[in-house]
Amino acid sequence: MSSWLRWEIPPEFVRKAEEIEAEVRPYFERVAAIREYNQLKVLAAMQEANISESFFGGTTGYGYDDSGRARLERAYAHAFGAEAALVRPQISTGTHALAVALFAITRPGYKILSVTGAPYDTLHDVIGIRRDDRTREHRLKLEMRGLRRSVTEVSSGLREKAPLTPGSLRDWGVDYEQVDLLPDGNLDFSAIEAALSERPEVVFVQRSRGYHDRPAVTIDVMRELVCLIRRCSPDSIIFVDNCYGEFVERAEPTEVGVDLCAGSLNKNPGGGRAVTGGYIVGRRDLVLAASNRLYAPGLGRAVGPSLGTTRDFSQGLYLAPQVVAEAIKGMIFASAFFRSLGWHTNPAPDAVRADIIQSIECGSRERLIALCQAVQAASPVDSFVVPVPGSMPGYDCEIIMAAGSFTQGSSIELSADGPLRPPYIAYMQGGLAYEQVKLAVLLTHKALTSES
């Protein structure tokens, strides 16, 4: 009996999936080559750091003299081509890691320049911007373009009127500007070069597409961007939100000249083993500043108990290249399968990928709901739960979310969600096992075929 019959998948659907797999096999081989390179890189990093089972017990209390934590951070630094790393269970989310880093490297009067447009929604309150503020600013930029009014003038006018988020970077006196992406979603290098003339103290880059239908920033593009920044504003600190991008390519941002990057262990580098935690890697002085911000000046990296997480964090790092490869293979298959049904997907199956996120334009409310419910039904955890649309703070429409994961909020495990508004895009990411993603896609096809 075919394994797929357990879910009553028709044989013709399985044959169609096998045909799709044959078509995308060259792309799978490319993923396998990257996985092998990164697996050996991580293995070498862990050997260089002398990772030892005897240090997996961890510490409590202050966390002084935690040799296992120190060795793991040494392995992270080596794997990311960085001078130093901070890998701690006290960092609870990717947004938390980014906030710690941003507050550590800025001071009142500094300016942050985002060169990848508006950041992910959860950073808006960290920075001190709101969706309506950003919309008004964009509109005023368009209106004033003919009058040659500068972005700075427009932004300053809005800041005088917009309320500050308590505790935000703007509340701290840090300025913020952004360079919008081109209509095709790529970086606007001309506009970035012009904005760099004001010598911002921090240049912010969001590597992943997040919940926008735009390309993720590849390492090749990152390298070109770093060269531009070094030429136009050499003293700027280049900071990258690396969430969803770790081990997708052969190099990390810190290996091509980025000063600092951060992310969540519930995503790629946790390898599905980390149940919490985040990391910050980069220049030694900046990592020290981040540790002072996370804990306290003068204590910094010397404190912070590992609380028994060192084993899972270490094993997660070791498994990360393999797990990321499984997720990417799943996204390639999903992209190709839904394209065969006439749906628009981004990235395309043959695209060079820089994150683990796949956007799928469902085209209707019913298709989006069916896809998310299929992802839930294909999960190893809470497969019996049926997700339904609902309201969420910060959104102007209903949202549907599916995630049957071992760890709450784990984005390296398969999940899918999207806003219930045209063009009804589902954002799918993760997958510890390729077969789970394949099952979710086939269950979606089955549900939609049954309804029609």
pLDDT tops 70 at residue 304: yes
Measured CA to CA, the distance from residue 209 to residue 397 in angstroms comes to 21
In this structure, the answer to whether residues 158 and 287 fall within a common structural domain is yes
pLDDT value for 130: 65
Of 260, 278, 306, which residue is a domain's last? Answer: 306
pLDDT value for 156: 42
Q: Given pLDDT bands bounded at 50, 70 and 90, which one contains residue 189?
A: very high
In this structure, the answer to whether residues 264 and 355 fall within a common structural domain is no
Q: Please state the rounded mean pLDDT for residues 429-440.
A: 97
pLDDT value for 314: 98
pLDDT tops 70 at residue 155: no
Domain around 417 = 3-41+318-451
In this structure, the answer to whether residues 238 and 343 fall within a common structural domain is no
Strands 237-241 and 84-88: unpaired
pLDDT value for 139: 39
Q: Please state the rounded mean pLDDT for residues 268-283.
A: 98
Measured CA to CA, the distance from residue 290 to residue 230 in angstroms comes to 23
Is residue 157 domain-resident?
yes
In this structure, the answer to whether residues 145 and 233 fall within a common structural domain is yes
Chain mean pLDDT for the chain:
91
Is residue 404 domain-resident?
yes
In this structure, the answer to whether residues 157 and 24 fall within a common structural domain is no
pLDDT tops 80 at residue 152: no
CA distances (Å), 80 to each of 42, 269, 273, in order?
Answer: 9, 11, 19
pLDDT value for 135: 39
Is residue 378 domain-resident?
yes
In this structure, the answer to whether residues 109 and 183 fall within a common structural domain is yes
Rg (alpha carbons) of the chain, rounded to whole number? 22
Contact in structure between 231 and 254 (CB atoms under 8 Å): no
Judged by average pLDDT, the poorest of 152-156, 190-194, 284-288 is 152-156
pLDDT value for 213: 76
pLDDT value for 394: 57
Using one digit for the tens of pLDDT, what is the confidence trace for 223-267? 999 999 999 999 999 999 999 999 999 999 999 999 999 999 999
Is residue 88 domain-resident?
yes
pLDDT tops 80 at residue 157: no
Of 277, 306, 335, which residue is a domain's last? Answer: 306
pTM above 0.85, yes or no: yes
In this structure, the answer to whether residues 394 and 438 fall within a common structural domain is yes
Q: Given pLDDT bands bounded at 50, 70 and 90, which one contains residue 452?
A: low
Is residue 52 domain-resident?
no
Is residue 48 domain-resident?
no
Judged by average pLDDT, the poorest of 123-137, 297-311, 421-435 is 123-137
In this structure, the answer to whether residues 334 and 382 fall within a common structural domain is yes
Domain count, the chain: 2
Contact in structure between 214 and 254 (CB atoms under 8 Å): no
Measured CA to CA, the distance from residue 351 to residue 330 in angstroms comes to 14
Using one digit for the tens of pLDDT, what is the confidence trace for 385-399? 999 999 876 567 899
Q: Please state the rounded mean pLDDT for residues 126-141.
A: 56
Of 242, 275, 306, which residue is a domain's last? Answer: 306
- Residue 58, sorted as left (phi over 0), alpha (psi -120 to 50) or beta, turns out to be left
Which residues are bridge partners to 218 per DSSP? none
CA distances (Å), 139 to each of 97, 186, 287, 422, in order?
Answer: 31, 20, 38, 22
In this structure, the answer to whether residues 160 and 24 fall within a common structural domain is no
The CATH number for 431's domain is 3.90.1150.60
Q: Given pLDDT bands bounded at 50, 70 and 90, which one contains residue 163?
A: low
Is residue 355 domain-resident?
yes
pLDDT value for 159: 42
Which residues are bridge partners to 203 per DSSP? 113, 238
Which residues are bridge partners to 346 per DSSP? 359
Q: Please state the rounded mean pLDDT for residues 356-376.
A: 96
Judged by average pLDDT, the poorest of 30-44, 151-165, 252-266, 287-301 is 151-165
In this structure, the answer to whether residues 121 and 265 fall within a common structural domain is yes
Is residue 298 domain-resident?
yes
Show the CA angle centred on residue 27, arms to residues 22 and 33, nearest 5°. Answer: 125
Q: Please state the rounded mean pLDDT for residues 254-283.
A: 98
In this structure, the answer to whether residues 327 and 394 fall within a common structural domain is yes
In this structure, the answer to whether residues 245 and 113 fall within a common structural domain is yes
